[in-house]
Structures are given as C-alpha cells and as structure tokens.
A and B are shown apart, each in its own frame.
Chain A
Amino acid sequence: MGKLKNKLVAVPYYIWAVVFIVVPLLMIAYSAFTNEDGAFTFQNILQIGIYGNVLLRSLLYALIATVCCLLLGYLLAYCMAQQSERGKNILMILLMLPMWINFVLRTQAMQDILDLIQSWMEAAGISLRISNTGFAIVLGLIYNYLPFMVLPIFTSLEKLDKRVIEAAEDLGANRMQVFRKVILPLTMPGIGSGVIMVFVPTISTFVISEKLGGAKYNLIGNVIQEQFLTVYNPNVGAAISLVMLLIMLFILIIFSFLDDETKEGLL
C-alpha cells in the first residue's frame, strides 16, 4: 500500500513532462516536415542548404570557444585546486559572482570595451579591426562560458584521491607522466560535463553574436530567432532547429562515453 502511493507521487511530473517537454519537442519535428497548411513537405529541410555556411561558422566558433575554454579553464581549475581551503572558497565566490550578473548586460559591456579599444587603436594608427568581428564573438563566448568549464573540472580535481598521485610519484613517474596517466584520465568526467556545458550554449547563442558581431556574422541561433520572430517562417525555423538538435545528440553520444560515473539515464 505504502509503496504504491510512493510511486504515484511522481504522476504529476510525468504528465507535466509529456505535455511540456515531449510534445513540444515533437512539435519541432512536425513543423519541420509540414508547410503552413499542415501538409507534409520536404521543402523546409531543403531550404537549410542556404544556411550551410552559417551552420559551418556556428560549428567553427563553438569549437574554437570550447577548446579555448578547455585549455584556459583546465589550467585555472588546476591552479585553484592547489590553493588553501580558504583560498578555494574565495576563488569559488569570485568565479560564480559574474555568472549571477545578467549575461546580456555583461555582453553589452564587452562590446563597449571592444569599441573603446578600437577607437584607441584607430587613434594610434593601427588598422586592425577587433570590434564587430568573428574574433569579438569568440572572445565573448569564451568570456561568458569559461566558468561553466572551470566548475566541473575543479569539482573532479577536488574529488581526486591525492594518494593516487603520491603513489604514481613514488613509483617513479615524472610530473608530465603523473598528469597524463593519472590526473587527466581521472578528471575526464569533469572535462566531459564542461565541454557539454560550454558547447551547447555556444553553438546555439544568438544574443552574443548579435551584440558582438555587429549583425554581420550571423550564427545559427540568429537564423532560428529571425525565422520565428521577424521573418515569421516557423516551419523553416523548426527545420534548422532539428538540425541543431541532431548535432547536439551527436556530441552527447560522444561525450556520454567519457562520463563513466554511474549516472542514471543520459542515453
């Protein structure tokens, strides 16, 4: 009797999940394969070809930003893990504080700073463009999502059993070997979650590219946003979203192999 009741408490969530998670996702697939009148068509999918270079650019920017975040973030997490307990606490607060300030506001500030630097460079006679470029977008992506890479890696570094490192050193491994053979494999789950937490929002952003790219370097997120809110062609928007979902699924499958912790679900 008690057990049956316990199972039933989740029913409101099951209904909620079906109505507001599963059905809306199926709506994307449905819209992608129908036209305005609801008739079946491949027209929307075929139109994606026009956005081929936008898709490639999004992938490229997301990959560069993710790799930079991984390199910068791993080193930062490693340095943070070496500090005293008190130091770690303070550094964690420092790392999390910017995440709580609205990202649209911070991205606008980044744009203002780049504009300022640009005007200084022009005054100094340097003709290099930095504001409103692809470089500015990637910089903005790294700036916004670096903490999301640092947090999971720092957590997995903290969980690492220090005795394993000592054992490796005692057995004659040099520092590079200890890192490659012990620390890196043991922090793979953290790297996996960090990469997903950076890659997913970077490939789908539209705010950062809009603010920092000066409307010249559209990403796939901008195209989706336009299709839904300005051009108003939700069927094409849904088709592009479907492609984005497939890319995401592909990345998730790759990285679910990295995360060997006993998680439930997750493919």
Chain B
Amino acid sequence: MKKWFQRSYMGLVFLFLYLPIAYLVLFSFNSGKSKVIFSGFTLKNYADLFTDQQIMQALLNTLIIAGISSIVSTIIGTMAAMGIQRLRKWQRNAVMNVTYIPVLNPDIITGISMMLFFSALGISLGFGTVLLAHITFNIPYVILAVMPKLRQVDYSAYEAAEDLGASPALAFRKALLPQIMPGVISGFLMALTLSVDDFVVTFFLRGVEVETLATVIYTTTKTRISLSMNALCGVMVVVVLIILILANLPQKQQKPKKEERI
C-alpha cells in the first residue's frame, strides 16, 4: 500500500476517534453556557468541577471502589491462578469456562444477574453490592494475566527454597512471586482500569444513593447542560496522557537489559 494512502487513512480514522473528545475539551473553556456557541475563554468550568460536592464525592467513591476491588481481586485471582495451574486438564477446562463467563458476558447481563441474586437474598443495593460486583468481574482478568506467567515459571528455585527450610509462604514470596510479578501487575492495572471505567454494572447495583463518576456523568448529561462535564473530560485526557506516557517510558529502557541477560 502506498505511504500517502496509509497516512491519510490513519489520519481520517483518528480524526473520527478524536473529534468528540476535542469538541468536549474545546467547550470546557467556554465562558458561555452553550455547547454550540463559543463565547470566550475561561477556566471557570474547571473551578466549578473541583468545587462540585456531588462530583467530588463520586470521584472519591470511584477511587475507593476501584482501589479495593482491584487489590482484592489481584490477591484472590493470583491465588486462584496458582491453584488452577495444578488441576487436571478437564478440571482446569471446567474452571476456565466459568472464569470466561464475566469476561464474555455483556455487562448488562452481569449487572442484572447479580441484581436478581442480591434481591433474592434480600440484600439492599448500595456500596457493598457495587464493590462485590466489581471484584467479581475483575478476578477473571487477573487470572488470565497471571496464568501465562505461571506457565513459564521455573519451579526449581521454589522447590530449592522449600528444601532449604523456607516456609511455603516465604518460598512463594522470594522464589515464585518475583517471577510472576509482571503478570500480577498487569492484572492489577487491568482490574483498576475496568473498575474506574465501568458504568453498566454499577448502574444496576448502586441502589439509590451511591454515585460513581460514570453514573454522575450519565445522570448529569441526561438532565441538564453542564460544562463541568466537559471540564471533567479535559482533566481525564491530561491524567490518561500522563499515565500512558509514563507507562511507555520504562519499557524502552528495560528492553536492552533483558536482551543482555539472554
């Protein structure tokens, strides 16, 4: 394919992907109240955003739910991956089929199935049910991230540690965990991302009072025109950009080291 064709095609697709974001960010600086007419530059919408009690509470909820659910699911998921690894093939297949359910299920099915479950048990929906649901849909991603690393593990170091009198816990920490750490970290980051980003599951399990950023965005954009949502988008773009750039920097520096070792 010709270079100019590739370049212009990629340019067009990325224009399509970025137009709505550019539009949101542009109007986050609008001093007027309209989403159509740009009346002048201001940072007022950003000030409004950070003083909005509801949005700040929702941000706090989002971070707490994402933090707890990704830590819990990383622990349970990593342990699960180690156990699953030791199962016989048919058992492993059975467990993995169940593990794929939350990954492949549409969010809405995950949400309503748990909603039915909790209401059958008479548990009222709220913070706790949202947290349980987030842990549930996060665990499989951790397992799927850790499993491939476990397959490459050299168990001789672990066995040597045990033979030399280390407790299983110590042997795990010193001889096994360092080897699977990249998988554990990527599983954790995946869980964190999914949890922050989730709208649908939270929407069905939040009950009446719990708001996360996603649900606040949903209700706000439904009921009124508010440019603080645009400002929120602007903040997100900056945060994500910083994270992505930081995440991509160390990889480049590590690569030559790895090759040397081999």
Say whether A201 contacts B14, CB under 8 Å. no
Residues of B within 8 A of A25 (CB): 101, 109, 113
Say whether A100 contacts B193, CB under 8 Å. yes
Say whether B21 contacts A228, CB under 8 Å. no
> Which B116-175 residues have C-beta < 8 A from chain A?
116-117, 119-120, 132-133, 135-136, 139, 143, 147, 159, 162, 168
Residues of B within 8 A of A13 (CB): 76-77, 79-80, 83, 139, 143
Say whether A106 contacts B21, CB under 8 Å. yes
Please judge, given known A-B contacts A109-B24, A204-B108, whether A27 and B117 are in contact too, CB under 8 Å: yes
Say whether A98 contacts B87, CB under 8 Å. no
> Which A185-215 residues have C-beta < 8 A from chain B?
196, 200-201, 203-204, 206-207, 211
Please judge, given known A-B contacts A228-B112, A248-B106, A265-B97, whether A76 and B204 are in contact too, CB under 8 Å: no
Interface size range of chain A in the complex: 35 or more
In Å, the complex CA distance between A252 and B100 comes to 11
In Å, the complex CA distance between A89 and B244 comes to 11
SS class, residues of chain A in contact with chain B: helix
SS class, residues of chain B in contact with chain A: helix
Residues of A within 8 A of B20 (CB): 106, 109-110, 113, 143
Name B111's closest neighbour in chain A (CB-CB): A228
Chain B residues proximal to chain A, CB less than 8 Å: 1, 6, 9-10, 13-14, 16-21, 23-24, 35-36, 76-77, 79-87, 92-102, 104-109, 112-117, 119-120, 132-133, 135-136, 139, 143, 147, 159, 162, 168, 193, 197, 199-200, 204, 213-214, 217-218, 221, 229, 232-233, 236-237, 240-241, 244-245, 248
Chain A residues proximal to chain B, CB less than 8 Å: 2-3, 5-14, 16-17, 20-25, 27-28, 31, 72, 75-76, 78-80, 82, 89, 91, 93-106, 108-110, 112-113, 115-116, 119, 143, 146-147, 196, 200-201, 203-204, 206-207, 211, 221, 224-225, 228-229, 234, 237-238, 241, 244-245, 248, 252, 264-267
